[in-house]
Structure 1
Amino acid sequence: MGNLLASSARMTSDDRAKDDVAIAETTQQRGRMEKPHWTGQPSGDDCSHEHGQPPNEVLHVAVAATVDLSRIDTSILTEISSFLGTARELLNLALTCKSFGQPTPATVLNWSLVEEVARQAVCSRATVAEMSCLPQHVIGTTTWLSILHRHEHLLTFDVLLGRYIEYLNGDKTAVCATGDYDGDVSVAVARSYIMRSGPHYVEFLITGTATNIGIGIVRPMPGLDAGAYDEEFDFFDDRFYPDFLAQRSADWVNDNAHACSFASGCGLMSWINWYERELGQSWEGMEACQLGDTVGMLLDLDEGTLSVYRNNRRLGVMKGGLSGAYCWYVDVSPGDAVEIRRVTNLPTALQS
């Protein structure tokens, strides 16, 4: 039986020539051919071939096939592509295959499959408050892919003010102080995350070797020149009041409080409208924080309140009467380091 199988597996030169013609015809139809090659080992019946030459073995041919994506339900492709998750992964998919990246005429809005996946990702992940902080989709100007990328980097310290501050290990969600004495104060602002309505919750993780961090809210000031402040910087420093007030916009609404801060080391509250200020005020529920603590801040612009949490435990409302637009910010002194964390789902302890 073994000799019969071995004999049937051999081909004459005429047989191979016929097969070559058949392979060429098949390849011409499919558009691609992989060159046949011998990979087997000689058996006992194949010892008559010259040394180093392959025996008369069966040729194995790999032929590439083309898949017509138009025959596959778009919803299935969208569902599969959604597992990629990030904007960068979806961009790579769009660049890999034009069927994914080019607009699909069959769709009502003429979007590509990648654009539709990005749109669904944004709408399913972003809260109502976060949607208000994201760019608006405009065909030909703003893509859903760019909005998804913005959502992935929504809460970062994108502006540093003052000389004595830097990102921690290059991470824009974490900053540390670089000064030598207590007066070396600088500020980090999440300026691209502008809160205008609804509730917004965020957490700050205290690291470093000190707890002198000021954590709070400030008016958005997109025209403030970060490079103009080459020494210490503080929103409560009266030298800079004219610079701040020059940035006033309709988003500010009124003069109730343009900046409000929680001092993590002692728990006191300070606020200012750059006409008048109140520094180091006590408030009901205040507590000092320690290294490793997480400070939660809930700005509810429907209620006009700023509440503070320590390690998921609500301390109370620190400031009321707030309205208009705000951004998160921190100020740091020597030994301070802090990380900002975005929270999409409030823990049960924070919902009351």
Structure 2
Amino acid sequence: MRVFVTAVFFLILHSSVGRCDNPSIESEFTKMDFTEVITTMPETSLDILKTSFSKEAILPWLGIISSSLILIHYDQDILDEVQKQGRHLGYENSNQYKPIIQIGKLELFRAPQDFESGLYFLGDGWLHGTVAASFLASGYFAGNVRALNTSLQLVQGFTLSTIASQGLKRVFGREGPVKQTEPGGAWRPFPSIPAYNKDHERYDAFPSGHIMTATLTFTVIRTNYPEYESYLLPAEILLVSALGWQMVNSDVHWAGDYPLGVAMGYVFGKSVAKVGRKSKSVQQSQATPLWEPEVMPIIRPDGATLAQLLWFF
């Protein structure tokens, strides 16, 4: 059975990087205290806001909005073609999970039961939490400050980005493919709390939290381990693209949910990566630059899955 194959590769890649030392880069970090995950949240949040609404962000916003609108326009065609492609490859248009850890009716952990479900697991909080834990173990027990800081930055990033994405999901109220009542899914902005909690799949498609979390994880690690960029960048292209494809194939997301998710993961990742650096005061005097290149998956109307390089300047 090919369960966890891709997910395990993702974890091994990150945990092995966390055990590597580079004295010149290690000296850039000051050891974070666990409480800094909470106490530096206001500072990090301010940097995220400065980045998102600075003059330099105008062109990136145009790119995010235009790519989202184009994909949203073709979302139904993309979904139909990708799912046809999936069936041709022998993949189910759904995710098969089995409860592994369960308390009563509450399922705490569900494991994927086939390869395509393993691709969906690439964006799961359990996987990214385990990546953060592997950096924490390496940093704490081996005295590796860079790895320790990476783990705590990831925890802060997961927390802040989840709060933001959950808020935006409730603002936009986009219907997921599995519950679609019209082509491309209906938009029901600002659903009531009871309505959202009763049937969240009718409202929580946009933006994609899975894509955001995967992008954030890679962004933090790539920022802290630049000497491994030649390995991490191809891994990000491969794994985030595979995750994006499977979520369309399995009726979880529309392709149009991805551009904003990628952008959020990148900006949040860059901002949290500033915490615990000696040059923090210099870095935080300026917003995170958005003109650096970034890679995101894109699915053409004919169903072809590609990697798109976005370079804002």
TM-score using structure 1 length: 0.22
Query: Taking CA–CA contacts closer than 8 Å with sequence separation of 6 or more, which of the two structures ends up with the larger relative contact order?
Result: 2
Larger Rg: 1
User: Hey, which of these two has a bigger chunk of strand by percent?
Assistant: 1
The structure with the greater share of residues assigned to helix is 2
